Structure 1
Amino acid sequence: MKINKIEINNFYSIKDVKFKFDKYEGIVLIEGINKDTNGSNGSGKSTLIEAVVWGLFGKTIRKSTEEALINNTEKKNCSVKITVNDDIVIERGKKPVYLKVHKGDKELTRDNALNTQALIDELLQVNYKVFLASTVFGQQNNIEFINATPEDKRTIIKNFLNLDELFSLRDSVKALKSEYSQVVKRQDAGIQEHEKSLTSFNKQLTHLEKLRKGVEGKHSEEVLSLTLQEVIDIETSNRSIEWSVAGIDKDLEAELERLENLTNRLEFPNQTEVCDKCGQASTQPFHPKKINNDIQVTRNHILAAEESRASYLSKLKKVPISSSEYHQVIEYNQLKKESETFEDIKKETLAKIQAAHDIKQEYTSKYEVMRFWEKAFSESGIVKYIIKNVLDYFNSKVNFYLSHLSQGKFFIEFDESLKETVTHNKNTIHYMSLSGGEKKKISLSVMLGLQELLRISHNQKTNLMFFDEVAENLDQEGLEGLYILLSELKEDKCLFVITHNNYLKSLMDNAKTVTMIKSNGTTKIKTR
């Protein structure tokens, strides 16, 4: 990220100032002249750094209140405008409050400040914490690492390595694992409920099968397949046939009697006959030819009647069950229908059980995968592995800076538990026994080493670094080492240094100077 220029107005004591960062390279000394107090303190030396941080992220290094940001004299129209990477322009103001962001000719400002800031972080590929830790070192942004507990040291390392994403993944994985576990539990509960229903269905089916077999033992399959209407139709048809046969039998009886009379008459021609109406005996004339003819006609009638009777009788159907007994068939069919219904429900239940088992198996597998990743993303997994493998790099960077600050006299190494071992001229010594200046050298080296972790983990380089009063407690050797170190760090960037130490200033005699001049409560910038 390259910060090109900044425009500051009514921010703390600075009023109407434009400053181009991309005109500067190497070491730049920030000095101050406070004409209101005839000193340098309170001139606004750190305000340039604060303006950059606030302009980009809406926060200050010193965690100032919003009211404190606004110039005491003007009390309004506080604003910072920063150009980054040549085409990103961020404008932030107080009284009135606003936040705008442009990229080229296009305004990208979102619906509220929170979302706009998220966009800025995305465009810059850096956030407040990362920028502060990798760009600003001084009194207001010092990280106490050496005196921290091993657990706190691990937390600091994790923060600088940007392992928050791993823990975010772990939390996501943990949530998924819990969700999958709940799915498995719900499927288990469903399976138990379905199996309970299945047991009930099987009992019902066994009972129904027993009742069906009882009915089947009394009636044939043909009977059980009949409908009630079919039984009634058979009975009605048979009754009609029986009535017709009864009529034929009556006619046939009369014809047989007639045949018998005609035959007797032919055999006994002189036999007298008694009149059915008057009861008087009479002798009928004897006509053999006519009698024979009548006999033949009567026989024909009898034959026709017998054929008709036989025809009707052939149409009679066997009634396997009466309509009055048909309730047994109805009962059987009801049992059969109930059995079929339960069989269908049973099949559906078995399908539900199988589906539940499939889902359970799927989510059990997912649960096991999430359990693996939860462990992998835990302190004892990838995090431990990363910290272990980054220690060599961290130690080498810390000692690179420490060798400059101590002329190679001090060496420090952190083990896997992040416990430090300090050696001075190859003799192991306790950190707490060191002087304030020696501790300062180690503290500064560790801080710069942590910033290296931050840069590699975020792949983030900025064209600026700010060192605010870092020379405190350093002896001449340390100051010379600090200057050499700053000379090493200045490649491709600009290092702004604020210091009251005259010896360090003398070492930077050829450096460019930015002077913050405060008069009547207002600070202006003078460059040399």
Structure 2
Amino acid sequence: MIEFEKIRWKNFLSTGNNFTELALNGHATTLVIGENGSGKSTFLDALTYGLFSKPFRKINKNQIINSVNNKACLVEIEFKIGSKNYLIRRGIKPTVFEIYVDGELINQDSKAKDYQEKLEKQILKLTFKSFTQIILLGSSSFLPFMKLPAAHRREVIEDLLDIQIFSIMNQILKERYSENKTNISDNNQILNLNLEKIDVQRKYIQEVKEINSDKVVDIRKLIETTNQEMSDIDLKVMALQAEVKSLSENIKDRDNLVSERSKLQQIKISIESMIGKIGSDINFFVNNTNCPVCKQDIEEDHRVEILHNRESVKDSKENGLRELNDHLEDLSVKLAA
């Protein structure tokens, strides 16, 4: 889990040459309030720019740097993941992009694009799209999950559950399938060429028969050789067709398993959410004897009946969740085979 500790910026948008700094780890929850134009949105823009090289709002890159100073634009973000402390420094005029882990600068030999990819995939494990869909939700630009394009929804879910490997595996299988289709097409062309050769040979034999009967024996040997080649080719074609059929079935079965597991994981999230809600209800009726709406006392019999009902529903959901987890584990074993 990412724990943001501190962010500071200068010469960023409308801020001047002195650092504006916010401490985000002073309390369990940090509330940022202020009048219009006081810099609340600038804080969000600085956060996403520091992490992903693009502001939260739709702002051109040449508008990011302060138009008065027009230099020394810099954003620094400190955060913690597990036991490691990170510092990200990103700026314009001069261009700056540095990643520090526990005070040590990560090797910058790679290109900026590869350096950014290392930050997103190995450290944050989030892309800009996922970050603004899961962590940073703005009322002006937030798009509900179900309204996202299918590819973006898949990307968000894969980042959230850390299951990008299945998309990679699916792409590899598609490439192999495409390669096999190409091989089959090439072999069919070879087969057609050989069939044409056979046809030519047969015509040639007929012509030779009409011209010289003495060459019949030699021509028959040639026919036998050609027929053997045809038989060998037919066997190869049959073997290739069987292999293609087997590969197609394996790909289809795997796609079905991946789809089923994705759906079951969504159901699992929904069940866990319901169990959490029911648990909250049980805790309320265990610890409270007054109605939260009308402030009147809840009759003991009614309270006991509600608790019994909630606990029964919770037990049922938890049993279903255990069965669902077992089924998901079976699917994972099948996919790993």
TM-score of the two chains, using structure 2 as the length reference: 0.61
Q: Return closer, same or farther for 1:377/1:211 CA change in 2, 3 Å cut-off.
A: farther
> Residue 89 of structure 2 contacts residue 98 of structure 2 at CA under 8 Å; is this kept in 1?
yes
Which residue matches 2:27?
25
Q: Distance in 2 between matches of 1:211 and 1:48?
A: 95
Give the structure 2 partner of residue 77 of structure 1.
72
What amino acid maps onto 1:129 in structure 2? K
The alpha-carbon distance between structure 1 residues 172 and 117, as it changes in their structure 2 partners (threshold 3 A), is same
Shift of 1:55: 0.5
SS in 2 for 1:180: helix
Q: CA deviation at 1:157?
A: 6.4
CA distance in 1, matches of 2:37, 2:72: 21
> In structure 1, what is the Cα distance between the partners aligned to 2:224 and 2:191?
18
Seen in structure 2, the aligned counterparts of structure 1 residues 20 and 181 have a Cα distance that, compared at 3 Å, is same
| Identity in percent | 18
Q: Distance in 2 between matches of 1:190 and 1:374?
A: 32
> CA–CA distance in 1 between the matches of 2:65 and 2:36?
19
Give the SS at the match of 2:36.
coil
How far 1:56 moved relative to its partner?
0.9
Aligned partners of 1:3 and 1:184: how far apart in 2?
55
Q: Of Structure 1 and Structure 2, which has the larger fraction of its residues in strand? A: 1
2:108 aligned residue: 109
Equivalent-residue separation in structure 1 for 2:46 and 2:87 (angstroms): 14
Name the SS of the counterpart of 2:39 in structure 1: coil
Q: Which residue of 1 aligns with 2:267?
A: 388
Question: Is the 1:8–1:18 Cα contact (8 Å) retained in structure 2?
Answer: yes
Question: Aligned equivalents of 2:21 and 2:240: distance in 1?
Answer: 64
Residue 181 of structure 1, CA deviation: 3.6
Other-structure match for 1:47 = 42
Provide the C-alpha distance between the structure 2 equivalents of 1:138 and 1:56, rounded to a whole number of angstroms: 17
Residues 12 and 74 of structure 2 are in contact (CA less than 8 Å); yes or no, is this contact kept in structure 1? yes
Q: Which residue of 1 aligns with 2:158?
A: 162
Q: Does 1:66 align with 2:65?
A: no
1:120 and 2:119 correspond:
yes
CA distance in 2, matches of 1:30, 1:152: 28
Contact 1:76 1:96 in 2 (8 A): yes
In 2, Cα distance between equivalents of 1:365 and 1:351: 21
Relative distance call for 1:98 and 1:387 in structure 2 (3 A) is same
* Residues 83-118 of structure 1: per-residue CA shift (max 9 Å, x gap): 444554432112333433344545433543322211
Task: Specify the SS of the correspondent of 2:158.
Answer: coil
Contact 1:7 1:19 in 2 (8 A): yes
Aligned partner (choices 334, 347, 370) of residue 251 of structure 2:
370
Aligned to 2:88: 90
What does residue range 437-452 of structure 1 map to in structure 2 within 5 Å? none
Residues 152, 101 of structure 1: CA spacing in aligned structure 2 closer, same or farther, 3 A cutoff? closer
1:139 aligns to what SS in structure 2?
A: coil
Q: Which amino acid aligns with 1:10?
A: N
CA 1:195–1:397: 2 relative to 1, 3 Å: farther
Residues 323-347 of structure 1, C-alpha deviations (whole Å, 9 max, x = no match): xxxxxxxxx6xx6666555554554
How far is the alpha carbon of 1:395 from its aligned partner? 4.8
Corresponding letter in the other structure for 1:187:
N
Contact kept, 8 Å, 1:187 with 1:357, in 2: the verdict is no
DSSP-derived class of the 1:129 partner: helix
Matched residue type, 2:9? I
Any idea what SS the aligned residue of 1:70 has? coil
What is the identity, as a one-letter code, of the residue corresponding to 1:91?
R
CA apart distance, 1:394? 4.4
Residue pair 2:5, 2:24 contacting (<8 A) in 1 also: yes
Aligned CA RMSD, in angstroms, stands at: 4.4
Select the structure with the greater relative contact order (CA < 8 A; seq sep ≥ 6): 1
Matched residues, number: 276
Distance, in Å, in 2 between the alignment partners of 1:30 and 1:123 is 30
Kept in 1: contact 2:11–2:65 (CA 8 A): yes
User: Structure 1 residues 100, 376: closer, same or farther in 2, change over 3 A?
Assistant: same
Per the TM alignment, residue 399 of structure 1 is displaced from its structure 2 partner at its CA by 8.4
3-state secondary structure, aligned to 2:55 = coil
Taking the TM superposition and a 5 Å limit, the aligned residue runs for 1:94-493 are: 94-103=92-101, 105-109=104-108, 111-124=110-123, 125-140=125-140, 142-144=142-144, 158=154, 160-162=156-158, 165=164, 170=170, 173-174=173-174, 176-198=176-198, 201=201, 340=221, 343-377=224-258, 381-395=260-274
Counterpart secondary structure, 2:67 = coil
1:250 corresponding residue in structure 2: none
Structure 2: segments with no counterpart, 5+ residues: 285-290, 294-337
SS at match of 2:62: helix
Match of 1:499 in 2: none
AA aligned opposite 1:100: E
Check conservation: 2:5, 2:79, Cα contact below 8 A: yes
Larger radius of gyration: 1
| Counterpart-to-counterpart distance in 2, 1:354 and 1:204 | 26
SS in 2 for 1:162: helix
Structure 1 unaligned runs (5+)?
Answer: 33-39, 216-331, 410-528
- Report the alpha carbon displacement of residue 131 of structure 1 after superposing the two structures with TM: 2.5
| C-alpha spacing 1:358/1:203, structure 2 compared with 1 (3 Å) | farther
Q: Secondary structure at the match of 2:30?
A: strand
Q: Distance in 2 between matches of 1:133 and 1:193?
A: 56
Change in Cα spacing, 1:89 to 1:209, as seen in structure 2 (3 Å) is farther
Superposed displacement of residue 121, structure 1: 0.6
